[in-house]
Structure 1
């Protein structure tokens, strides 16, 4: 298929998911962009569809058969993205994260698209040990190495971004893939105990979805290479976050793969002009105020 006029053709894998739908929403606001989503709807939802985006259902492993145009940019967000659950879901992790990335890279070779890949900040966790602490962490870390090599071997333009505990609009709030902030909000609404995995001193940098999307678009347009971290400098323990919500807390047993720390690597993104602007503390306060009012 020929490109439509002078518009930029942008494909977002995982475009019906939490981060992907917010990215699609931002990209489609620019009249110079034509935006497609490729999603298998494993965690994405039709409710996340954005007007003006073309949606294709399928696996990224089948990208060459499903996409019949040459994108200028591919934002590859459509991978398995949970740490603790990845031990039980290892076959799914391999299918989505290893078969998927190979197909996407081969498609980039064919089309010349620039690849913007969402790596995982787990590879920086616990002084670099985090990359091997779970099937999820290892697949994501090894994918970044494969992308770097494809860049060298086949001259593929790429940028690798790293998110730090994203929260905000369209988070998954129920089920095994629920994110922490959305889960706490849901439990507080229902008057349930806030469950914290022991020891509770795990530190995280919680980053608002708007800050994530601003960084993603900026790196997509101007970033090349690895280490484009997009994370808030504010760091809190899980227990501190639970205490900010103010509900009763129940401690759960420790779990495999649960790293204690993750260093934010944001210097390259900040050099492009990005800064985190939103605070998790203020977000939780506003949520609590909304329950009272």
Structure 2
């Protein structure tokens, strides 16, 4: 690749920071664009050029035109999106349109972090929340940009990412980080009813390895990145072997998860290598 400049939107976030780490280790000149709504300066990686700004203003950032944009900088919570509809639309529809136009105008390959929610519950999951709908709509739009304007793109789908730097507090906390914090504070683990909803929990290191390979070699739609191990929320909570409390059911809470990693496996030999059970065991060992 002649142009070694790469832009990561959301590069100061959970997954974005790990991706930046990988890109720097692979000797890419790495730039991050983040508005720090959920990102943090504590996630900064040495060697990355951090730009404080919104994806709406991507056309005005002062960096060399990159060869690839990894677009991770969107609103990314299911249940909370019902309370943040205007913010979801601004970020995931208007903001991503700006990223698409910037990519089209400068012939940049766009690698999009889609959401596996669109495949859940037999395909009904794409309409279960404002978040899911915007993410699914964006994948449709990116595919159309490819057809209309010959945009170079690759679309990935993440499955319930966990690992270091997860958000553990507030409305944007992720499940494993929340359970980890509750366990470390000797609090009961809070499980949203009915608890039988199933997920493919995938370590962030596995996600980033797949995402990097898609960025370097992937083209088109359908790069699912997830662990084949599938657990219900109750099963995950029970791994911690502590007290549980059930919470009322929430809007947008899909019941099933449909995993397809065939493209990443067949094209790159990618598969998730890390185990959620081992991760939880390490939390228990460190805490006790």
TM-score (structure 1 length as normaliser)? 0.96
Q: Which ranges in structure 2 are unaligned for 5 or more consecutive residues?
A: none
- Between the aligned partners of 2:258 and 2:211, the Cα distance in structure 1 is 19
Equivalent residue for 1:25? 21
Give 1:130 shift.
Answer: 0.1
Superposed, which structure 2 residues align to 1:220-231 within 5 Å?
Answer: 220-231=215-226
CA contact (8 A) 1:117 1:159 kept: yes
- Between the aligned partners of 1:28 and 1:133, the Cα distance in structure 2 is 37
1:87 aligns with 2:82: yes
CA contact (8 A) 1:204 1:236 kept: yes
Equivalent residue for 1:279? 275
Superposed, which structure 2 residues align to 1:120-199 within 5 Å?
Answer: 120-199=115-194
Superposed, which structure 2 residues align to 1:1-293 within 5 Å?
Answer: 6-31=2-27, 33-271=28-266, 272-292=268-288
SS at match of 1:95: helix
- Between the aligned partners of 1:69 and 1:22, the Cα distance in structure 2 is 22
- Between the aligned partners of 1:7 and 1:68, the Cα distance in structure 2 is 13
- Between the aligned partners of 1:75 and 1:203, the Cα distance in structure 2 is 28
Give 1:69 shift.
Answer: 2.3
TM-score (structure 2 length as normaliser)? 0.98
SS at match of 1:277: coil
SS at match of 1:258: coil
**Aligned CA-pair RMSD:** 1.0
SS at match of 2:50: strand
Q: Which runs of 4+ in 1 moved over 3 A?
A: none
Structure 1 window deviating more from structure 2 (59-68 vs 274-283): it is 59-68
Structure 1 window deviating more from structure 2 (102-111 vs 13-22): it is 102-111
Give 1:193 shift.
Answer: 1.1
Give the aligned length.
287
